[in-house]
Chain A
Amino acid sequence: MQLNARHHRLLTSCGYFYMKYNVKIGGKNYQLELGRDAARWSCRLDGLEVDVDAIPVQPAVLSLRVGHETYEVKCECTADHIQVWVRGECYAAEVRDPRSLRARTRAADHHGPRKLTAPMSGKIVRVLTREGCEVVAGAGVVVVEAMKMQNEIKSPKKGTVQKILVNEGTAVNAGDVLAIVE
């Protein structure tokens, strides 16, 4: 199934998704577009269509088919990157979502209260500030852990923390509002 940007909003709202990532491995940057509709994946790597199919076979293990070639890929997450094992080789990957980066940059220019949302489902492992505290742009507000990867959610702007809506230990879903910075 082909996915394009027009489908994107519709698909995410009914449980399908389409994502764009910047992935950095071994000093090289790759543009990755992934879409999923039920069990089917679509994939573009640096603009080129790749025929892939993936099944999670056990926690942190993916059975991947690229064309007809099969790979059993294992994943380990550290604080700032993902380690992916392919055929006995270990690759350290940094995965970024450019949309959320853009969103953050845009938000920083804006005035008025900004919402901080969870980029992925996970658990709040740390709250780094308190309501009423002053924060600068880029200061960490809360830390979300998902798949053993800790993700610091940063303030998009300089301001005051108006509200913190989560506690340490709270489970959150992607898109949940975590805090508001005024």
Chain B
Amino acid sequence: MFKKILIANRGEIAVRVIRACHEMGIAAVAVYSEVDRAALHVRQADEACPIGAATASESYLNIPKILDAAKRSGVDAIHPGYGFLSENARFAQACADAGVKFIGPSAAAMEMMGSKTRARQAMERAGIALVPGTASGLESFAQAEQIAAKVGYPVMLKAAAGGGGKGMRLVHTPKELNPALESARSEAERAFGDDEVYMEKAIINPRHIEMQVLADEHGNAIYLGERECSIQRRHQKVLEESPAPIVDSEMRRKMGEAAVRVAKAAGYSNAGTVEFLMDEMENFFFLEMNTRLQVEHPVTELVTGIDLVHWQIRIAAGEKLPFVQNDIQIRGHAIECRIYAEDPDNNYFPSPGMISLLMEPSGPGIRLDSGVYEGWNVPTDYDPLLAKLIGYGSDRVQAIGRLRRALGEYFVGGIKNNISLFRRILHDPDFRAGNVDTGFLDTMLKKDSGQADTKLSAVAVIAAGMFVAMGATVSASDPANAASGSKNNSGKAASGWKGAARIEALRTNIGGNS
């Protein structure tokens, strides 16, 4: 087993991997950019190496700097987390060349899955159902027209090297095809330096369902159930759950076996995810394979009882999977909410800044994977994911109930965040009935968010007055506090509050004694 692992990432996922290392008795080395010296992952690691400026290309995406940190700290392995270098085949190869184990699949498997057209060709050979369309790049407009006519409009044009919605065009009529093809090509060229574009039949508002796989380096592969990830905004997942409400055990077996075939066809090892699109007729089609740990991995961990990060490390260390497919049982239900620093009143625009107050939920069935703390200044340079709140229950209804309870306990002050969005989703009748597709969130956000409660407004009025009144009287009414207040006049704005709480406690005690 490894003695020391470097985590080439930041935020909640770096903290998640550090926790796994510590649970396994492995030392964890953090890397950090200039703005992350005080970040939670640095505070929790055993060692930490600075790797440069805030800009990701200067630090978390910089292969030479990360390998240099690995060499200096003498680690056996590197965990890439998700995002940043996690799906970069060159990085995996560079690790291998430097004699450090990359915790993930081989560079060759990553490369195959990195190009959507190459992946489609391999999956076609392996007999996996693909969305009808082309398995290679479009050669000409005439060919595009011909294929579109064959699969039927609407069609989707996609960049082979694509991701994040770039180089993607939805085409409804033959007239739109030529301009869409040209603009998709030029966008793909600009974004990825590769103008290869292919075509698929467009599935309108599909469900997005993915299957977790785990494969060792000895040819064994299993699936760990699906995740329903249809709740998305701008192609970004917001809430995920496992199991998917629509998937029964028979469909799970079919999708799982297809996912394992995909993994085997790619010569895949370690944890990976096979994404499928499901149409209204409940047909599922291979979309792509993510060759890394997913953000939403905790829901699978909760319903299978398998710690994916522990197993990523054990597989990379050469261990064989000790369980077979029949050993895997799905128990209960888990739902994850991605808590982002973003402003719900301003079109969910990122809202970094200082967290002035943080109240975190806990209790039965609640898991919080957080990367922040009270007083931390969320930098503007990276993804605004603050934490993931995961609720577990013996069934979906209980999981929803626990999450709603936990959201009530959760408070992030000082920066805008999307906690209120999850209250709405979990309250929505369609969500509660399991009727979700990739159009769900846009539809829900167009609905009225409901009337203000007059009783709560009255409570807010009273509280607002009290906050002002207490701020106004604490130091003035109490000579002792006034004196200490002037001594610490460098103190923060909140110090008056601490004083107020102290005095209040004192008064209550005195009142109680008399």
Q: A39-B508, A121-B474 are in contact. Are A171 and B489 (CB under 8 A)?
A: yes
* B294 CB → nearest A CB, Å: 28
Distance, CA A85 to CA B465, complexed state (A)? 13
* B426 CB → nearest A CB, Å: 11
Distance, CA A98 to CA B387, complexed state (A)? 43
The contact of A147 among B458, B485, B493, by CB within 8 Å, is B493
B414, B452, B497, B511, most chain A CB atoms within 10 A: B497
Are B452 and A89 in contact, CB atoms less than 8 angstroms apart?
yes
Are A91 and B473 in contact, CB atoms less than 8 angstroms apart?
no
Instruction: Say whether B25 faces chain A, with CB atoms less than 8 Å apart.
Output: no
Distance, CA A17 to CA B102, complexed state (A)? 66
Are B461 and A52 in contact, CB atoms less than 8 angstroms apart?
no
Distance, CA A148 to CA B496, complexed state (A)? 10
Chain B residue contacts of A170, Cβ below 8 A: 489
Residues of chain A from 1 to 47 with CB closer than 8 A to chain B in the complex? 15-17, 19, 21, 23, 25-26, 28, 30, 32, 34, 36, 38-39, 41, 43, 45
Chain A residue contacts of B472, Cβ below 8 A: 19, 119-121, 146, 174
* B346 CB → nearest A CB, Å: 14
Instruction: Say whether A138 faces chain B, with CB atoms less than 8 Å apart.
Output: no
Spot the interface stretch: B34-42, B391-399, B475-483.
B475-483
- Which residue of A has the minimal Cβ distance to B497? A59
Distance, CA A174 to CA B466, complexed state (A)? 16
Are B414 and A28 in contact, CB atoms less than 8 angstroms apart?
no
Instruction: Say whether B498 faces chain A, with CB atoms less than 8 Å apart.
Output: yes
Are A61 and B357 in contact, CB atoms less than 8 angstroms apart?
yes
Are A121 and B476 in contact, CB atoms less than 8 angstroms apart?
yes
Per-residue B-contact encoding for A59-89, CB less than 8 Å = 1, 0 else: 1111010100001011111000010111111
Q: How many residues of B contact A (CB 8 A)?
A: 53
Are A56 and B500 in contact, CB atoms less than 8 angstroms apart?
yes
* A182 CB → nearest B CB, Å: 27
Chain A residue contacts of B498, Cβ below 8 A: 59
Are A148 and B477 in contact, CB atoms less than 8 angstroms apart?
no
B356, B419, B473, most chain A CB atoms within 10 A: B473
Are B459 and A17 in contact, CB atoms less than 8 angstroms apart?
no
* B460 CB → nearest A CB, Å: 4
B residues sitting closer than 8 Å to A (CB atoms) are: 356-357, 359, 407-408, 411, 413-414, 419-420, 423, 452-453, 456-478, 482, 485-486, 489-490, 493-494, 496-498, 500-501, 504, 507-508, 510-511
Q: A93-B461, A121-B474, A146-B496 are in contact. List 7 more A-B contacts (CB 8 A).
A: A23-B461, A55-B504, A59-B501, A76-B356, A85-B411, A89-B453, A120-B468
Nearest 7 pairs of A and B residues by beta carbon: A171-B489, A59-B497, A93-B464, A120-B472, A91-B460, A15-B477, A121-B475
5 A-B residue contacts at CB 8 Å? A59-B497, A86-B456, A120-B471, A121-B471, A122-B496
